[in-house]
Amino acid sequence: MAKLNRAPLPLAAEHDTPVPMRDGTILRGDVHRPASGGPFPTMLVRSPYGEGSFRMTPTIPALEAGFAVVLQHCRGRGSSDGTFRPWLDEGTDGYDTIEWICAQPWSNGEVVASGMSYLAGCALQAAATRPPGLKAVVASMTPHDFYDGLKYHGGAFALGSALNWGSMQSMLDLLHRTAAGEDVGAGFGALLPVIGDPARAARTLPLRDIPAIPWWQEWTSHPRRDAYWEGLAETLRHDRIEVPVMHTAGWFDLFLAGTLENHRRLGGPLVIGPWSHGPGTAGTGALDFGFAASAAAARLESRQLEFLRGADRGPAVRIFVMGDNVWRDEEAWPPARAVHTRYHLHSDGSLSTDTPARTAPSTFVFDPRDPVPTVGGPLLLADATNVGPQDQREVELRHDVLCFTTDVLESDIEVTGPLQVTLRAATSAVSTDWTAKLVDVHPDGRAMSVIDGILRARTEPDSPAEFVISLVATSQVFKAGHRIRVEISSSNFPRFDLNPGNGRTSAESTPDEFVVQRQTVFPDSHITLPIVPR
């Protein structure tokens, strides 16, 4: 019988430890540390999601690695006092908390910060304030900017994720105020219908009239990058971050572009798995990538702790190559050996590297009252099953979705790196959206989505122009016997809000103001694929 020679690790824990901020607000959290010895370096995690979110923090592994651990609620959340204001206070509150930690007798004066999503943003915003005690950050699946890639993508409002996250934060706000003894019955009355039927809420028009989310009017009233968003950007100044940062991304995460941009600006190790927002499981959407694809099998948590300890010896970049379903180490992102290759969108529905002939363009009619539904993708919707790679065949039956497909591949084609679709197109409206989706067509007919993007455009009606749609990035091997497909349309709802076609936004438009849009896509349009030689 195997026997493990392990000694117990006595721990000391303190619940709801008060930490004063510079404005007098008291934030609270839990402190975990070895009961004897020290002083210790400390891992700080700050969250706006309440106590339950801390159960996903690797507290015991961090303690075993020699850290004390501080799990703190953001202001106005959990047991912390104050009012929660998304993104505004996290830098200064993080700075004050790190200063408090360094002053404790059990601290050796060194702090590291870790988190995913908003929690990672807290860590990066704190790093941007340059607290002397902060030594390293692990930032997973988090945006680089609060306008671009968070609330707006390609100029289109990220309706689905904004509604889902805003509703959740509104509920947490009401629960926090209830715990403080306030009467918030009216708030619950307004919010519960939104949470209970998010699909119906998403169709509210004008969109700004969705109730019960405190910040909704601000988000929808600033569709362009203006002083509102620039003010928020000042809380995440990459040029002020000096500590080393490790980045974790997912090919199907809605913050893939943000994580890649954080890595580009800050450097540091990068790991990209075939994951959606958070789980790190072997299966995402309708595909299972095999046991090795999981974050646990990849020993991601162990490597993150090694990085925080200053002992990481892993590769600069590690990516999961979908299709082959293997991990691969790279010297840098994106791989320099990729050959950027144009595949043209021919009017006969074919997709190839052949020079397009001078043929009639492809056309479709788009009615924003009947948008193309969101089926899979890098999502954070109320429906957690609608995420990642999903079969697009039903979507492709619509009259307002153009499909361009290669012949059956005779050999594998690996696409790894950033990619984009360049449309030469025209619309009859004064404004429209152009959407693009990369699809892997399997031999059995399944059309599995890989990545998608959107661009909101204003043009002269019926005047051809060039539109570039970012599809962010992927690492996908299209196997022999498969086909590569590109879908083009003008909506992806409710992932993105509707474009009324009248020059205004859905936040300020009613259904009777929507304009039917006649779309034209010319055959010199193309997708640029970063093809890695094999």
Per the domain annotation, does 324 fall within a domain? yes
- The answer, yes or no, to whether residue 1 has pLDDT greater than 90, is no
Do 165 and 60 share a structural domain? no
DSSP-derived secondary structure for 487-503:
EEES--BTTS----SSS
198 with 112, same domain: the answer is no
Task: Note the pLDDT of residue 279.
Answer: 75
Q: Which helix (H) or strand (E) holds 458?
A: strand 447-458
Q: Are residues 387 and 524 in the same domain?
A: yes
Please report whether residue 426 resides in a domain.
yes
* 186 within some domain: yes
How many angstroms separate the CA atoms of 501 and 162, rounded? 22
Q: What is the pLDDT of residue 489?
A: 98
| Token code pair at residue 515 | 């304009």
DSSP state of 473: E
| Mean pLDDT across 260-285 | 95
* DSSP assignment letter at 178: H
**Interaxial angle between packed helices 90-102 and 118-128, expressed in degrees from 0 to 180 and rounded to the nearest 10:** 70
Whether 1 is covered by a domain: the verdict is no
DSSP 408: P
Task: Give the three-class secondary structure for 333.
Answer: coil
Judge contact between 63 and 132, C-beta under 8 A.
no
CATH number for position 293: 3.40.50.1820
Same domain, 282 and 344: no
User: How many domains does the structure of the chain reveal?
Assistant: 3
Which listed residue (30, 253, 400, 440) is catalytic?
253
Q: Residue 149's pLDDT is what?
A: 95
Residue 277 annotated among the catalytic residues of the structure: yes
Q: How far apart are CA 71 and CA 114, in angstroms?
A: 10
Q: What domain range includes position 268? A: 11-147+233-330
Please report which helix (H) or strand (E) contains residue 404, including its range.
strand 402-405
Instruction: Quote the CA–CA distance of 216 and 208 in Å, as a whole number.
Output: 7
Task: Tell me which of 273, 307, 330 is where a domain ends.
Answer: 330
Mean pLDDT across 276-281? 88
Same structural domain, 407 and 471:
yes
Structure tokens at 360: 């009639």
Domain boundary among 230, 251, 269: 230
What is the distance between the alpha carbons of residues 136 and 259, in angstroms, rounded to a whole number?
16
pLDDT band at 147 (very low <50, low <70, confident <90, very high): very high
Q: What is the per-residue pLDDT across 259-270, written as a single tens digit (0 to 9) for each?
A: 999 999 999 999
In sequence order, which residues have a C-beta less than 8 Å from that of residue 112 and are 6 or more positions away?
Answer: 41, 42, 43, 44, 67, 134, 135, 136, 137, 138, 308
What would the mean pLDDT of 231-236 be, rounded to a whole number? 96
Instruction: Assess whether 226 carries a catalytic annotation.
Output: no
* The pLDDT value given to residue 14: 97
The pLDDT of residue 33? 97
- Tell me, yes or no, whether 2 lies in a domain: no
Q: What mean pLDDT value characterizes the chain?
A: 97
Residues 111 and 242 in one domain: yes
pLDDT recorded at residue 188: 96
Both 354 and 448 in one domain: the answer is yes
Same-domain pairing of 525 and 447: yes
Last residue of a domain, one of 200, 230, 260: 230
pLDDT (0 to 100) of residue 42: 98
Q: Please report the pLDDT score of residue 199 as a whole number.
A: 96
Catalytic residue among 263, 277, 482, 526: 277
- CA 338 to CA 326: how far, in whole Å? 18
Mean pLDDT of 507-512: 96
Residue 4 lies in a domain: no
In the chain, the largest separation of any two C-alpha atoms, in whole Å, equals 78
Compute the average pLDDT of residues 44-72. Answer: 95
Domain membership of residue 3 (yes or no) is no
pLDDT of amino acid 2:
87
pLDDT band at 323 (very low <50, low <70, confident <90, very high): very high
Same domain, 89 and 143: yes
The rounded distance, in Å, linking the Cα atoms of 61 and 57 is: 9
Structure-block tokens of residue 394: 């039903």
pLDDT of residue 462: 96
Torsion of CA 205, 389, 264, 149, to 10 degrees: 0
In the set 47, 114, 117, 167, the catalytic residue is 117
Neighbours of 348 (CB within 10 A): 10
- pLDDT band at residue 278 using 50, 70 and 90 as cut-offs: confident
- Whether 117 sits among the annotated catalytic residues: the reply is yes
36 with 122, same domain: the answer is yes
User: At which residue do the structure tokens 């702090």 appear?
Assistant: 111
Please tell me the predicted confidence (pLDDT) of residue 64.
95
The structure tokens listed for 71 are 């799990």
End-to-end CA distance of the chain: 48
Q: In the structure, what pLDDT confidence band is assigned to residue 441 with cuts at 50, 70 and 90? A: very high
Indicate if 121 and 249 belong to the same structural domain.
Answer: yes
**What is residue 289's predicted lDDT score, i.e. its pLDDT?**
97
Cα(105)–Cα(127) distance, rounded to whole angstroms? Answer: 23
Phi and psi of 202, rounded to 5°? -65, -20
* Residues 159 and 496: beta-carbon distance below 8 Å: yes
Query: pLDDT category, 135, cuts 50, 70, 90?
Result: very high
Average pLDDT over residues 109-122: 98
How many whole angstroms separate alpha carbon 320 and alpha carbon 35? 40
**Partner residues linked to 457 by β-bridges:** 432
Note whether residue 271 is domain-resident. yes
Say if residue 400 is in the same domain as residue 470. yes
pLDDT score of 359: 85
Indicate if the pLDDT at residue 357 is higher than 90: no
Give the whole-angstrom CA distance, residue 466 versus residue 7: 66
CATH number at residue 433: 2.60.120.260
Q: What is the mean pLDDT of residues 472-492?
A: 98
| Among the listed residues 379, 330, 266, 308, the one whose alpha carbon sits nearest the alpha carbon of residue 115 | 308
Report the C-alpha gap between 229 and 240 in whole angstroms. Answer: 18
